[in-house]
Amino acid sequence: MADFGELKRKSLREIWQHEATAFTPWLARNIEALGDALGMELELAGEEVAVGDFSLDLLANDLGTGGRVIIENQLTPSDHDHLGKLITYAAGFGAEKVIWLAETLREEHRQALEWLNQRTDEETQFFAVTVDVLQIDNSRPAYDFKVLVMPNEWQKTAKRRRSAPNSDKGERYREFYQRLIDDLREKHHFTGARVGQPQNWYSFSSGHTGIRYGLVFTQGGKVRAELYIDLGDAEKNQQVFNYLEQRKNEIETDYGASLSWEGLDNRRASRVAIYREGSIQDEGETLDDIHDWSVGELLRMKRVFSERVREIVRML
């Protein structure tokens, strides 16, 4: 007969004593897990960010769209005070996505967020997430993000199609990237992203703010897989790029191919990349080949650069 343990649900305050000094920093360190639950690639942009006389808990970037994301969290059930803060912060940052994370979500607040999702334009999306902390007997506690409110994508898409004519090229990009992120997520656990976008690029988190993996269809008829470096500071960008470039021979040997080392003169950012011929207008087997190449190169980028990026970030 099976011997089962006792499953206990712990209150958030048993785990985190203080919201600003304990819960928010923990959430910042685990922002990728939150993104996975929401189907996004989230990259931290700031903690306790000033908005007039107020302070936003977390500011992030959605790497899939380049849009701003605001995150307001609390260790207690949702309340009117935090709902008001959400609206204030969303306006202050021109946020694309608004995430409210609480211990529990009151029904009236769930209705309020769903109403906002129905009434706002297709560029603004509201989410509500709760955190369950579970423990079996005296084991280490485990957390679970539960998404209770998210936009109705069908309604948003229908609204977008009514307000703007379809772009065949944009739709081809969306379909290509949807297939790419689905494969990377389901087969390789490379990303938590779930929604392809009608754009010529897509970025993925490296686990370090300002350093990303990316796939781009260039205007010159090429496809580029890249490690993109922009920490918001030209000097730090140069330090990271120089550290990697000094190890060019060992990196390219490990990678199994020559790479393009692009310091991007007159620009703050830099990149290490590999290219192939290709266009989103390609058909059939050619586009399938671009897809397979893209998956393979992004996986190689992560394998080769992950630890080396971690080393230089520690040194900054």
CB neighbours of 118 closer than 8 A, spacing ≥ 6?
A: 152, 155
Which helix (H) or strand (E) segment holds residue 285: the answer is: helix 284-315
Rounded to whole angstroms, how far apart are CA atoms 12 and 97?
24
Dihedral, CA atoms, 277, 300, 189, 195, nearest 10 degrees? -30
pLDDT at 94 exceeding the cut of 60: yes
Q: What pLDDT band is residue 162 in, cutting at 50, 70 and 90?
A: very low
Rounded to whole angstroms, how far apart are CA atoms 187 and 194?
13
Intra-chain end-to-end CA distance of the chain, in Å? 55
**Main-chain dihedrals φ then ψ at residue 246, nearest 5 degrees:** -65, -20
Q: What is the pLDDT of residues 229-261, one digit of tens each?
A: 999 888 899 999 999 999 999 999 999 999 999
Q: Indicate the DSSP class of residue 39.
A: T
What's the pTM value of the predicted model, to 2 decimals? 0.82
**Which architecture, in CATH terms, is 7-159?**
3-Layer(aba) Sandwich (3.40)
Q: What is the pLDDT of residues 7-60, one digit of tens each?
A: 889 999 999 999 999 999 999 999 999 999 999 999 999 999 988 888 999 999
Q: What is the mean pLDDT of residues 258-269?
A: 86
Rounded to whole angstroms, how far apart are CA atoms 25 and 19?
9
Q: What is the pLDDT of residues 286-301, one digit of tens each?
A: 999 999 999 999 999 9
Percent of all residues in the chain with a pLDDT value above 70, rounded to a whole number: 94
Residue indicated by tokens 């769930």: 110
The ranges assigned to domains in the chain are 7-159, 165-315
- Give the E-state strand segments of the chain in sequence order: 7-10, 42-51, 54-62, 67-73, 97-102, 125-136, 142-149, 201-208, 211-217, 222-229, 260-262, 270-277
Q: What is the mean pLDDT of residues 103-113?
A: 95
Which helix (H) or strand (E) segment holds residue 33: the answer is: helix 31-38
SS3 content of the chain, % helix, strand, coil (to 5): 40, 30, 30
Query: What is the structure's pLDDT at 2?
Result: 66
Rounded to whole angstroms, how far apart are CA atoms 76 and 87?
19
Q: What is the pLDDT of residues 135-144, one digit of tens each?
A: 998 889 999 9
What class is the 165-315 domain?
Answer: alpha beta
Q: Is 163 helix (H, G, I), strand (E, B) or coil?
A: helix
59 close to 49: Cβ distance less than 8 angstroms: yes
pLDDT at 103 exceeding the cut of 80: yes
